Amino acid sequence: MANSDYYATLGVRRDASPEEIKKAYRRLARELHPDVNPDPATQERFKEITQAYEVLSDANKRQMYDLGADPFGGAAAGQGAAGFGAGFPFSDIMDAFFGTAGGARGPRSRARRGRNATIRVELDLRETAFGTTRELVVDTAVLCEVCQGAGAASGTHPDTCDMCNGRGEISQVTRSFLGQVMTSRPCPQCGGFGTIIRHPCQECSGDGRVRTRRTIKVRIPAGVEDGTHIQLAGEGEVGPGGGPPGDLFLEIVERPHEIFERRGDDLHCTVQIPMTAAALGTNLAVETLDGSEEVDVRPGTQSGQVITMYGRGVQRLNETGRGDLLIHVNVETPLRLDETQEGLLRELAKLRGEERPPGKFAPGQQGFFSRLRDAFNGR
């Protein structure tokens, strides 16, 4: 391999950074490792990438190689790879296969972060619009007051595991193409903790926490809506072994209102007025979230028109100002008239020249036969 192109062997550019070289080698090592592919040609290829990485990962050897000198200083070209010398990248191979360097990991802690919890909070429209304060009953896990999260009974303590001697893992040596390879796995006796609780706390059964019901007081900000989630940091369940608590999430459920329909920060409602009031104009008493208020209906108001009351909607969440209240007007036509009313209306129609109105079709509102004719004409 004295005349090999180490850069081509690893598939990197000549100006590749050390991180790019390491990444390329790890990728190839996972593909070509003899334990994965025992084919003799693959084993030879694995030797080549290992020698190329040994040179290019060392700044001094890489400089000598780039200058055309022997990076091994006259030693046998394959010695580094075949003899597993000081420059052999054993830790990088372990990292490629196990996701970590070959160093010891040690026992894992019994204390782990608690789970998050979610509870649903039902509010009416006024509460979501202006905010409120609620006392919530939460069924959750809290720190065991007897053992303070240690899990051991009073007066006792966890014993060192005699299988792993407190390391939390056991090692196994196997032989492969690389020689003796050591692999580690969590200790099956202590579960990787390094200690065994032989006398667990009777209150929490060794878990370090107990379930209880507690009451918390929370403030709901103005402007929340149906589906909003509020995060209360550290108000969730305490973790096993007395670990830090998770978070509590409040899911807002907004109850329907009998008058208003909410769309974002705006409120919508419908008011019905007689045709005489729509024609002549009038003042209406309208219910709002702030109480009853007067609204002016202008003469000639048509059915479907919208009257806007600015700033009478919902408070904007985490902002200043409020949305609007939009009142949709529905003009009622009387169904039954007595003789006097009918006579007055006929007189009005006569005065306005509307005894036999021609009728006007707005775009998109033509009659059935007009639509049928347009369909046959291809319009």
Cβ within 8 Å of residue 202, ≥6 positions away: 146, 153
Half-sphere exposure of 295 toward its Cβ, with a 13 Å CA cutoff? 21
269 labelled ligand-binding: no
Residues in the chain: 379
| Residue 4 CB contacts under 8 Å (≥ 6 apart), including other chains | 48, 52
User: Which residues, listed in sequence order, are joined to residue 177 by a DSSP beta bridge?
Assistant: none
DSSP string of 316-329?
A: PTTSSSB--EEEEE
Among the listed residues 79, 338, 121, 96, the one whose alpha carbon sits nearest the alpha carbon of residue 219: 121
Q: Establish whether 147 is an annotated binding residue.
A: yes
Name the one residue in this structure whose structure tokens are 């667990």.
Answer: 200
CA 76 – CA 260 distance, rounded (Å) = 87
In this structure, what are the phi and psi dihedrals at residue 178, rounded to the nearest 5 degrees? Answer: -80, -10
Name the pairing type of β-strands 261-263 and 266-274: antiparallel
CA distance 295 to 310: 12
Q: Tokens 């070289």 correspond to what residue?
A: 21
**Euclidean distance between CA atoms 238 and 149, whole angstroms:** 10
Q: Which residue is associated with the tokens 């929340």?
A: 224
Is 187 assigned to a binding site? yes
Residue type, 82: A
The binding site for Zn(2+) comprises 144, 147, 161, 164, 187, 190, 201, 204
The binding site comprises 144, 147, 161, 164, 187, 190, 201, 204
